[in-house]
Structure 1
Amino acid sequence: MKFYLVSLAVGLLVGCIYALLQVRSPAPPAIALIGLFGMLVGEQAVPIAKRLISGEPVTISWFRSECVSRISGVEAPRQAPHDPAA
């Protein structure tokens, strides 16, 4: 039930933002897609901030493994173990 209430609250907030920007809801497809992309990227700000606060580095490899798949919806390809004999 909590997720429904949070979803409703966020929907109300977005509706208010649309009204302030004078964009009709439902938004035109391009605006809606850009907004969804912004939400996906914004979700990754929290793990990045937590990592920085804890003093851990935010590296490209960490970002690729932890964030890119969540933003793109495509799982990162797994790298094969390095075989020095090959």
Structure 2
Amino acid sequence: MLLALATGIVIGVVFQSLKIPSPAPPFLGLLGLLGMFLGQRLIPWIQLWLSRK
């Protein structure tokens, strides 16, 4: 995860220095990706929690 973050920062610096518009999705799209990530992590946690009861 740290490698991905560092790579994104480097690419962002390069894009900004070359005045290239970012191809990243708008903020709402990024929130959707975060929601998908959290949803994938939530299901196994719920299954583990229910199996303990």
Bigger proportion of residues as helix = 2
Q: TM-score scaled to structure 1, two decimals?
A: 0.31
Greater Cα radius of gyration, structure 1 or 2: 1
Q: TM-score scaled to structure 2, two decimals?
A: 0.48
